[in-house]
Structure 1
Amino acid sequence: MTGVLVKICGLNDPAAVRAAAEAGADMVGFMFYPRSPRAVTPARVAELARGLPAGIVRVAVLVDPDDALVDAVTATGVIDLLQLHGRETPERILALKARTGLPVMKVLPVADRADVEAAAAYDGVVDRIMFDARPPKDMAGALPGGNALSFDWRLLVGLRLATPWTLAGGLTVENVAEAVRLTGAGSVDTSSGVEDRPGVKSPDKIRAFVAAAKAAGPEAAQGDVGGRATLAPSAARP
């Protein structure tokens, strides 16, 4: 499949991983954050990811990780891309890229225009930027992502970055086409939008979401110039 790049995040069971692969997802994400209902261990991800077809990018989702966790995750040999969902600075990101030899996607929480403008500090530093919804301060149990919240997509209209970017936050089969049309996103990400309940993915919803996102069409991929080369899995991975 071509067109919009699709990432299915928070995978933690074989049926969901298989559904994402068979549906044509370009990226699959594994959450290494203990507070998340989607959390997995490095050993578990090694089992889940090794059977994936070549060409699907395996993403480790991390929140302000220390070096020990990064080393444990990358030692599995199945990770192609680090997704950083905390308060990582450009300096920390450069250190992690040097330590691991892997590309990095930085997630930026968005509630207003200033949040979008914060991407300038990471433009050209990271290999991909993701814009996700910033949870309200009074939201009980809020996670860094996967809260089924969206933000005002109009904040991204006219966005110009040298770095490919991804749209996330409350995306579902019902709204992903409109989100792509409005923002020109060339890449989208969903987790809660393809779940029956937090942490439990629906293979049917995964298939429907990938189909809807891909049907949005390649003409919408303004935000992903050069993105496919950036996401190429490592040839060194067994």
Structure 2
Amino acid sequence: MSKIRTKICGFTRAEDAAEAARLGVDAVGLVFYEKSRRFVSAAQAQAVVRALPPFVSVVALFVNETEAVIRQILQQLPVDIIQFHGDESPEFCRRFDRPYIKAVRVRHTQDMLDAAVLYADARAVLFDAHVAGEYGGTGHSFDWRMLPDDLNSHWILSGGLTPDNTAEAVRTTGAKAVDISSGVESAPGVKCPQKMAAFLAAVRQMEKGAR
């Protein structure tokens, strides 16, 4: 199996991000959504980014945020990719001249097919579980069997992943990119080094074709 890209989302502490980078994660996610238990201020985010070595991507996550606030964060932080995790339109996502990921809260297969068309210029669409009133980080997964076979776009598997089920998730879906948050935490926003290591080890095993 080819390389599987990994993102760990919801960092609030610089030391956790540094450890994730040491373990080999491809991208770290910073949540700029005030209702999230993993919300970071610009100052916290800057400390996290300073702890990262070169070539680890920084993803800034927003949920139905205003254009002004997003642009303010982009001025304060070296963001590589924007992740829109709310109900943002394709037109809104394109305003920032920055690669972006669009999250989709999955209820039906058609949700994924529609998103692939609507956000065709996204770096990827991210499939997360639909939980009423919540925008990610819930620890819930959706039925992976709903993934369509003919999805002609880059996509990321998210929602309810843990070190224990990541290999099964990749095996079932054929995912080439996975995104985890609560599944590697000891508390909201506090990442567990052992869980992060186990998650990344599970991904590496799948790359090698281990069963």
TM-score (norm 1): 0.83
Amino acid at match of 2:157: L
Aligned partner of 1:153 in structure 2 is: 144
Secondary structure of residue in 2 paired with 1:75: helix
> Structure 2: which 5+ residue stretches go unaligned?
none
CA distance in 2, matches of 1:189, 1:118: 21
1:124 CA displacement: 2.4
For the 8 Å contact 1:5–1:214, the answer to whether it is kept is no
Aligned partner of 1:108 in structure 2 is: 104
Aligned partner of 1:36 in structure 2 is: 36
TM-score (norm 2): 0.93
For the 8 Å contact 2:14–2:51, the answer to whether it is kept is no
CA distance in 1, matches of 2:208, 2:156: 14
1:93 CA displacement: 1.3
Amino acid at match of 1:146: G
RMSD, aligned CA? 1.8
For the 8 Å contact 1:133–1:149, the answer to whether it is kept is yes
CA distance in 1, matches of 2:207, 2:193: 23
CA distance in 2, matches of 1:172, 1:122: 29
1:215 CA displacement: 1.8
Aligned partner of 1:132 in structure 2 is: 128
Secondary structure of residue in 2 paired with 1:131: strand
For the 8 Å contact 2:64–2:88, the answer to whether it is kept is yes
For the 8 Å contact 1:36–1:143, the answer to whether it is kept is no
CA distance in 1, matches of 2:137, 2:208: 26
CA distance in 2, matches of 1:47, 1:132: 28
> Structure 1: which 5+ residue stretches go unaligned?
220-238
Aligned partner of 2:191 in structure 1 is: 201
Aligned partner of 1:230 in structure 2 is: none
Q: Percent identity?
A: 38
> Greater CA deviation, 25-34 or 109-118?
109-118
Q: Structure 1 residues 9, 181: closer, same or farther in 2, change over 3 A?
A: same
Deviation string 1:193-219 (CA, Å, 9 cap, x unpaired) is 001132322121111111111221177
The alignment of Structure 1 onto Structure 2 pairs a total of residues equal to 209
Aligned partner of 1:226 in structure 2 is: none
Aligned partner of 2:171 in structure 1 is: 181
Secondary structure of residue in 1 paired with 2:102: strand
Deviation string 1:74-95 (CA, Å, 9 cap, x unpaired) is 1124210000001011111122
For the 8 Å contact 2:140–2:159, the answer to whether it is kept is yes
Matched, 1:119 2:109: no
Secondary structure of residue in 1 paired with 2:91: helix
1:157 CA displacement: 4.5
